Amino acid sequence: MAFQRVANVGEYRMIYQLHGQVCENVLHIQHAIAPSAADLNTMVTALENWHALRAKPVQSINAALRTIAARSLDTVEAPATERGITANGEGGNVEAATPASVTLAIKLTTGLSGRSARGRVYHIGIPQGAVIGNEVTLGYRDQLLTVYGFLISDVAAAGGTLVVVSRYSGKGADGKALKRAMGRALAVTGVSGDIAIDSQRRRLNGRGI
């Protein structure tokens, strides 16, 4: 996809390994100004700490955060950074993980309606004991909502705002989505999610991320 500017926003890729497969979640964080390399590194540290303190305890030991890659979306040639995670990357739950395609969608809400005003994070590394049939337990779902709620506040404490980025608006006469001249960023105000298991087939071995 051709570059599309999103003012003052950094793209942060949380790259994991699970059952031999590379899996990732992409987060967007808005800064007060176009993020510099130093700004990106500060936020990468905040995300690394969030993972170690919040996410790690609810992830299977089979899932490991390996890299956090970040770049500014302000210009084509923009600051970027990448940090390998060499310690505390593995999940803190000693149970084996469900298959890599098994996930739970955590909805990122912005207080506005419409598809372009909400986002999702697909949790990586669900322990087998947290799944009953086609659902996770209510307790595990509630733990995840707490973890991702802290993501909002931890990012804010580091000087940023977790956002949902919308790149398209409406459809043209041909039925295809119309790309915005510039991406729109909406602040995330809350998280929600049900207990029904979701599937990410691309996370199966050999299928990509």
Name 158's Cβ contacts closer than 8 Å, sequence gap at least 6. 42, 43, 45, 46
**Predicted confidence (pLDDT) per residue in 193-203, tens digit:** 999 999 876 55
Establish how many alpha carbons lie within 13 A of residue 195's alpha carbon, considering only the half-sphere containing its beta carbon. Answer: 14
Higher pLDDT, 23 or 180: 23
**Residue 83 covered by a domain:** yes
What per-residue confidence (pLDDT) applies to 206?
A: 55
Domain containing 125 equals: 9-201
Q: What does the DSSP 8-state code read for residue 157?
A: H
What per-residue confidence (pLDDT) applies to 27?
A: 98
Q: Comparing 14-28, 121-135, 163-177, which segment has the lowest mean pLDDT?
A: 163-177
Establish how many alpha carbons lie within 13 A of residue 132's alpha carbon, considering only the half-sphere containing its beta carbon. Answer: 6
| Residue 121 bridge partners (DSSP) | 106
CA distance 209 to 202: 6
Name 143's Cβ contacts closer than 8 Å, sequence gap at least 6. 58
**Residue 135 covered by a domain:** yes
**Residue 26 covered by a domain:** yes
**Residue 208 covered by a domain:** no
Confidence of residue 169 (pLDDT cuts 50, 70, 90): confident
What percent of the chain lies above the pLDDT cut of 70?
Answer: 92
**What number is the average pLDDT over the span 105-111?**
95
Q: Are 120 and 25 in contact (CB under 8 A)?
A: no
What percent of the chain lies above the pLDDT cut of 90?
Answer: 77
**Residue 209 covered by a domain:** no
Confidence of residue 3 (pLDDT cuts 50, 70, 90): confident
**Predicted confidence (pLDDT) per residue in 136-166, tens digit:** 999 999 999 999 999 999 999 999 999 999 8
**Residue 118 covered by a domain:** yes
**Predicted confidence (pLDDT) per residue in 7-40, tens digit:** 999 999 999 999 989 999 999 999 999 999 999 9
CA distance 147 to 104: 13
Candidates 81, 92, 1; CA nearest to 53 is 92
| Residue 27 bridge partners (DSSP) | 12
CB count in 10 Å sphere of residue 14: 23
**Residue 4 covered by a domain:** no
CA distance 44 to 14: 9
What per-residue confidence (pLDDT) applies to 205?
A: 55
Could you give the number of structural domains in the chain? 1
Query: Phi and psi for 65 in degrees, rounded to 5?
Result: -75, 120
**Residue 3 covered by a domain:** no
Per the prediction, the chain carries an average pLDDT of: 91
What per-residue confidence (pLDDT) applies to 177?
A: 72
What per-residue confidence (pLDDT) applies to 183?
A: 82
